[in-house]
Structure 1
Amino acid sequence: MLAAPIPANDKERLAALRALLILDTPPEERYDRIVRFAAEEFGVPIALLSVIDENRQWFKARVGLDVCETQRDISFCGHAIVQPDIFVIEDARQDPRFADNPIVTGEPRVIFYAGAPLLEPSGHAIGTLCLIDHEPRTLDATELAILASLRDLLQEELSGGNEHA
């Protein structure tokens, strides 16, 4: 297993994340609605709004997953935030970076992963909108565009103010 990389600008990224005042806040319908739609639109059992802090991946909104956080070093989203665009793993069992990852070999049995990095207003990737399936799959150009549009909606919500603060 290849641990999730630490971005070169992680100190600044973490400061930008903290400034959003979103970590460890209660669920909010405005985020939940978009994540529910993503799960339904793509027909996946798991969809998440994941936020990456120093040591963990915390889920602001989630469908199909009971836990509210996992370790950053085993997260797929930790890999996605250092990508310039949507990060797709069609079959994690066949990818040497993930094949022996405990969330692939055990629960929640991540086989397919697609993560669209979420940028906060100054441009730091703070997390992802991600789709997870227990079966291998691909996304075509239209599906990638839909995922990017949903990511854009979440980014607008994140930059639109902190009504929960």
Structure 2
Amino acid sequence: MLAAPIPDNDSDRLAALREMLILDTPPEERYDKIVQFAAHEFDVPVALISLVDENRQWFKARVGVDVCQTDRDVSICGHAILQSDIFVVPDARIDPRFADNPLVAGPPNVVFYAGAPLAMPNGYVIGTLCLISQRPRTLDATELAIISSLRDLLVEELTASTEAPHA
């Protein structure tokens, strides 16, 4: 398994994520609706809003998984946050970066992964909107446009909600 490299600006990225005061907050309907729509639209059993901190990926919203976080060192989202565009892994079982990843080799048996990096207005990527399935697949141009639009809406929502005054 190839853990995602840590970007040079990770300490600044993590500081920006912490300043948002969103980690470990309760579920919120507006984010839950986004992942529910994504799971339905793309016909995948798992959709997540995953925020990547120092040691984990924490799920702000989730469909299809019971856990609320996984370790960063096994996180495919850790790879996706390094990308400038949507990161697609059609079949993780045959991808040398992920074939022996415990999340691929065992439950939840990730095969297909698509992660749209959540690049905030300050330029830092805090996580992903991701889709996961236990069967291989790709995304066509229309599907890539839809996930890109969902990502853009999510970034707008995250920006608006975290710029509001905190109590």
Normalising by structure 1, we get a TM-score of 0.98
Q: Which residue of 1 aligns with 2:27?
A: 27
Q: What CA deviation, in whole Å up to 9, does each residue of 1:4-56 have, x standing for no partner?
A: 22111001100110111100000001111111100000000000000000000
Q: Which residue of 2 aligns with 1:152?
A: 152
1:83–1:117 CA contact under 8 A, matched in 2: yes
Deviation at 1:121, TM superposition (A): 2.2
Cα separation, 2, equivalents of 1:74 and 1:47: 17
What amino acid does structure 2 have at the position aligned with 1:86?
Answer: I
Deviation at 1:164, TM superposition (A): 9.2
Q: Which residue of 1 aligns with 2:95?
A: 95
What amino acid does structure 2 have at the position aligned with 1:65?
Answer: V
Instruction: Please state if 1:134 is matched with 2:134.
Output: yes
Q: What CA deviation, in whole Å up to 9, does each residue of 1:81-107 have, x standing for no partner?
A: 001100000000110000000000100
Unaligned segments of structure 1, at least 5 residues: none
SS in structure 1 of the partner of residue 49 of structure 2: strand
Please provide the CA RMSD for this pair: 1.1
Structure 1 residues 164 and 98 mapped into 2: Cα distance closer, same or farther (>3 Å)?
farther
Q: Which residue of 2 aligns with 1:53?
A: 53
Instruction: Please state if 1:116 is matched with 2:116.
Output: yes
What amino acid does structure 2 have at the position aligned with 1:3?
Answer: A
1:119–1:155 CA contact under 8 A, matched in 2: yes
SS in structure 2 of the partner of residue 160 of structure 1: helix
Structure 1 residues 124 and 20 mapped into 2: Cα distance closer, same or farther (>3 Å)?
same
Ranges of 4+ aligned residues in structure 1 off by more than 2 Å: 161-165
Q: What CA deviation, in whole Å up to 9, does each residue of 1:99-154 have, x standing for no partner?
A: 00000010000000000000122010000000000000010011000000000011
What amino acid does structure 2 have at the position aligned with 1:4?
Answer: A
- The range that moved more, 47-56 or 152-161, is 152-161
Percentage of matched positions with identical amino acids: 72
Normalising by structure 2, we get a TM-score of 0.96
What amino acid does structure 2 have at the position aligned with 1:82?
Answer: L
Deviation at 1:161, TM superposition (A): 2.7
Cα separation, 2, equivalents of 1:70 and 1:161: 25
SS in structure 2 of the partner of residue 107 of structure 1: coil
